[in-house]
Amino acid sequence: MKTLFLIRHAKSSQEFGVDDFDRPLNDRGKRDAPAMGKRIRDREIRIETFVSSPAKRASQTAGLFAGKYGFAEEAIRYVPALYLAAPAALRKVIEEIDDQYSSAAIFAHNPGLTDLANELTNIRIDNMPTCSIYAVSVQTERWADFMAAEKQYLFFDYPKKIAD
């Protein structure tokens, strides 16, 4: 079985003169990312590999999640194609995850993440807010087969969601 966690970067700053790629997390983002990482870790959800857009806001979010799992930031794989990726680019990155991992978190951006999440199951969302997590699983041994396999919706969580 393979489990995928699509994670939108946490809230970033809107600083004048800072290139979009280099925008860091703002104070809320710096609070939300570790809180969401802890929230899913406390649910005993396993993430074996972290794959991130190299944009500063995504890489900082991935680093804060990885820290909650005891992973070094150096263990995060940065994929330039994830920066502002459309669903097709996201699908390609998913299909290239090493099959040794049964669970993976992809840290990227909207609107691509919301669009991909809506392709995966019949559960529709209007928008993936910052630092949200959309999780699905499939019965397959290979990530290359992930997109073609029937997916099971697991959950959709985000910082302002009231606990179930």
pLDDT in tens, 120-150: 999 999 999 999 999 999 999 999 999 999 9
pLDDT of the residue at 37? 95
**pLDDT score recorded for residue 112:** 98
Q: Of the candidates 34, 43, 41, 38, which has an alpha carbon nearest to the alpha carbon of residue 11?
A: 34
- pLDDT digits 0-9 by tens, 95-106: 999 999 999 999
Its pTM stands at 0.96
Q: Report the distance separating Cα 46 and Cα 101, nearest Å.
A: 11
Q: Are 105 and 40 in contact (CB under 8 A)?
A: no
The Cα–Cα gap between 161 and 99 comes to 32
Instruction: Give the number of other Cβ atoms within 10 Å of residue 141's Cβ.
Output: 10
**pLDDT confidence tier of residue 3, bands split at 50, 70 and 90:** very high
List the domains of the chain with CATH numbers: 2-11+23-145 (3.40.50.1240)
Over residues 63-111, the pLDDT tens digits come to 999 999 999 888 999 999 999 999 999 999 999 999 999 999 999 999 9
Q: What is the pLDDT of residues 12-39, one digit of tens each?
A: 998 888 899 999 999 999 999 999 999 9
Q: How far is CA 162 from CA 74, 112, 152, 157, 158, in A?
A: 33, 25, 23, 9, 9
**Local confidence band at 163 (pLDDT 50, 70, 90 cut-offs):** low
